[in-house]
Chains A and B, each alone.
Chain A
Amino acid sequence: MTLRFVSGSMRGRLVIQLALIAALLSLVLFLVVRTVAERAAADTQDNILLASATSISDALYTERGAVRLELPYSALSMLGSISEDRVFYRVAVGGETLTGYDDLPLPVSNDANQFDTYRYKGETVRAVALKRNFSTGNHSRDVTIVVAQTRLGLAAISSRITNTAMAIGVIFFLLATGLSLWAAQSALAPLTRMAGAVTRRGPSDLRPVVGKTPAELAPLVEALNSFILRLKASLNRSEDFIAEAAHRVRTPLATVRTQAEVVHRSLNQSQNKTALREMIRAIDESSRSAGQLLDHAMVNFRTDQFETAQLDLVELVKETTDRLSPTAGLKDIGINVAHDIPEFPFSGDAILLQNALRNILDNAIKYSPADSIITVNMTSDPEYQIAVIDQGRGFQGGDAQSYLNRFSRGENVDDVVGSGLGLTIVQEVAVAHFGRVEIQNNQTGSGACVSFILPRG
């Protein structure tokens, strides 16, 4: 299900933002690790180059006024011990090459130790230049020692470091993203919880939302609650209005009916009599509708202010059948009540329950032929079930469950007066008590079977 009003996700946004931050930090971490490690590796090479140049300078000596050198084995072999890089050296006395590679550049400035990076023999080399002042007898000479090495080993180290730093960065990023997912989830949990609580509510549950909510959600909850309040007030107002209207219509209708009866009786012409009969019937329908609307409004009101009391369903059923037996008696209909256990203790609203039972029994009487039996069968296992079974015409055509809708009447009603609200009221009462209504025809013989089912305990 996609909701049309959804635009973006808070969690998605949160996760993306946190992931971006994590990516940025990973990148910074990667660069820092790489820079530091490469600096360290480059320093190592510089140190070895310097050590090599120093050992060469220590091996300088004079012989008959000339500077001589006995190149120490370690001076070059130490450079070969850490990597397989090419090695170049040059010793120059006053600009003239004493030994080594003639074309290795000499430094221009006069600083003591100078490091430099340049291209030599087709490769980038790192070089150190050492200047020493050497006295040969009576005059002193400037000796420059240059030792250079290619950077193959350094490049290998650097690529290894880059890989390691990259791995660290990626791991950090994945970890941070995982954690940010979790953080977003847990930060939004109260919202999900609240949405769940509101979704789980019944259709007419208009109680305010209570329960702990984080400060950030308080305004939303407040707004929701005030909206619920306003909605409830507006619903109440329209129901009050319907009830008031029904009430106002019913009283004058009663008067009109009485007058019509009187007139009917005083008339002799059968043609006029029939017309008046029709009129009385229409009045009956209207007044029935008004009465049922009033009842419906009452039921709605009471389910809102649901007040429960301990009662016995058996007693309730008996009271209701007693009250209806005169009506039944008019059609010579007998009502039998049977129950499997003596008492059906239940906590509920007696008035609502009576109203529901009355509507079921009223239907049974209305839609049964004269001189028949209505059975009220009460069973308690596993739920309380009050089945009202008649021998009438039964439900016909269509989906029996649709009779539970407002103002829906069957095709089988003939001239029976009714509004189509009876079973709607029954359904609402059942739902208010966490029960349900089942409608079907008798398995054996003709007639309808309407079961009012309530949870036990």
Chain B
Amino acid sequence: MRIIYLTAWLIAQMICATLANAFEIEEQKLYKSPTGTGNLHIISTADISSFEPILLAFQEENPNIDIDYVVASSAQTMAAIHDERAPFDLVISSAMDLQTKLANDGFAQTYVSSATDSLPSWAKWRNQVFAFTQEPAVLVVSEHAFRDLSIPNTREELIELLRDNPQEFWGRVGTYDVRTSGFGYMLATQNSRNTDSFWRLTEVMGRLKTRLYCCSGEMIDDVASGRLAMAYNVLGSYAEKRLQTMDGVKIVPMQDFVSLMLRTSIITTNAKNASAAKRMVDFLSMMETRPELSAASGLPAVQRLETTAAKGLRPIRLGPGLLVFLDRLKRETFIRNWQNSIVQNNP
């Protein structure tokens, strides 16, 4: 028997009037609880469809907490918290760099509990930024396009493959447009830091009139439809979720290294309902113990015991290093270089 009586309203943009919303929101949903005493205001970059199972499970454990879940892009999330000090209790974002900047600039509360203590050291920073998912950046290929070709396993092989088969891949390679996607920018900068082949790869992809995307979803759709032969640096968690309903698409984790993006949460310093936010942080930190939530949401939980190094998994390191690529000049230079490499034939 369900103990929790859940009432959920999909609330349209009008409710947003309650929040001073100079920032743009994409979706919003209020999860009312029967005995609700306090509203937990969450701003998140994860869309409602993927995050809902987690919110419902949380509310089942904490029936007296109403959840107001607002979805916004990472840049808008940053604007909401950093510039507008919007009254959110919890910020959930895949933009590790922006989350780090929020903590570094004093927008995050310190919180320590047995749940956060059990997180591996790479999965938290200052006890203010707490990771709860680890999502690999992968190569997604169309099996059809690789009928006669062997699938590359390292970035060097990928470069070679693209160089040797320009006619096969002309216009059929996709990747993030780092100018518009914060997540794409973060992945690209981390790649540039991790390997020398990054710029050569960008150069080669530029010569092949690579298509640029804002989001993982569209890239995967285009691979599935055959418009793309491959998409580079796709968020593996999305890919995996989509592939459950798609044939002919394959996920290839690179063997030289796989960047692990960490989805993190922070409790804001001006949180009105910090206790509920802390409950949520604890709940998210322990997501590993509830594999059904990862399955339902498609968000792989932080693995405590997994030896990340052995599998070539490289969690992007939380900390001030992430602030480097947020530097105005650094960003300008990086984007100019990237543009010069990839948009050479893509005016």
Residues of A at the B interface (CB closer than 8 Å) are 68-73, 75-77, 79-81, 84, 86-88, 98-100, 121-123, 152
Contact = CB atoms under 8 A, between A and B. Distances in A.
A88 B106 CA distance: 11
Given A70-B333, A87-B104, A123-B106, A100 B319 contact: no
Interface stretch (B58-66, B245-253, B321-329): B321-329
Nearest to B189: A73
Nearest to B328: A99
A86 B317 contact: no
Contacts, number: 58
Nearest to B323: A76
Interface string B328-339: 111001000000
Contacts of B193: 73
B51 interface: no
Contacts of A123: 106
Interface in B94-126: 103-106, 125-126
B321 A76 contact: yes
Interface in B237-286: none
Contact of B327 (A71, A84, A121): A71
Contact of B320 (A70, A76, A121): A76
Contact of A99 (B126, B127, B319, B327): B327
Given A87-B104, A121-B105, A122-B106, A99 B329 contact: yes
Given A68-B329, A69-B329, A71-B327, A77 B320 contact: yes
B324 A72 contact: yes
A121 B105 CA distance: 7
30 contacts: A68-B329, A68-B333, A69-B330, A70-B330, A71-B327, A71-B330, A73-B193, A73-B321, A73-B324, A73-B325, A75-B324, A76-B320, A76-B323, A77-B317, A77-B319, A77-B324, A80-B317, A80-B319, A80-B321, A84-B127, A86-B103, A86-B104, A86-B105, A86-B106, A87-B323, A99-B327, A99-B328, A100-B327, A121-B105, A152-B126
Contacts of A86: 103-106, 126, 320
A87 B327 CA distance: 13
Given A69-B330, A77-B321, 15 more contacts: A69-B327, A71-B324, A73-B193, A76-B321, A77-B324, A80-B321, A87-B320, A88-B104, A98-B329, A99-B328, A99-B329, A121-B105, A121-B106, A122-B106, A152-B126
The 6 residue pairs across chains A and B that have the minimum distance between CB atoms? A77-B321, A80-B319, A87-B320, A80-B320, A76-B320, A84-B126
Interface of chain A: mostly helix, strand, loop or mixed: mixed
A96 B329 CA distance: 14
A178 B125 CA distance: 47
Nearest to B190: A73
A170 B127 CA distance: 33
Interface in B275-322: 317, 319-321
Contacts of A69: 327, 329-330
B327 to A, nearest CB: 4
A152 B127 CA distance: 12
A123 to B, nearest CB: 7
A99 B326 CA distance: 10
B25 to A, nearest CB: 28
A397 B317 CA distance: 105
A233 to B, nearest CB: 86
Nearest to A91: B329
A142 B333 CA distance: 22
Contacts of A70: 329-330, 333
B252 to A, nearest CB: 27
Contacts of B324: 71-73, 75-77
Interface centre among A70, A72, A75, A98 (most CB of B within 10 A): A70
Interface string B165-205: 00000000000000000000000000001000000000000
Contacts of B328: 99
Contacts of A122: 106
A68 B332 CA distance: 11
A88 B105 CA distance: 9
Nearest to B104: A86
Contact of B125 (A73, A81, A84, A121): A84
A29 to B, nearest CB: 34
A87 B333 CA distance: 22
Interface in B18-69: none
Contacts of B325: 73
A151 to B, nearest CB: 13
Contacts of A87: 104, 320, 323
B164 to A, nearest CB: 32
A134 to B, nearest CB: 15
A70 B330 CA distance: 5
Contacts of B104: 86-88
B17 to A, nearest CB: 32
Contacts of A81: 319
Contacts of A76: 320-321, 323-324
B297 to A, nearest CB: 29
Nearest to B106: A121
A77 B319 CA distance: 7
Contacts of B319: 77, 80-81, 84
Nearest to B124: A84
Nearest to B327: A71
A143 to B, nearest CB: 13
A387 B329 CA distance: 123
Contacts of B125: 84
Contacts of B126: 84, 86, 152
A360 to B, nearest CB: 93
Contacts of B106: 86, 121-123
A121 B323 CA distance: 17
B293 to A, nearest CB: 28
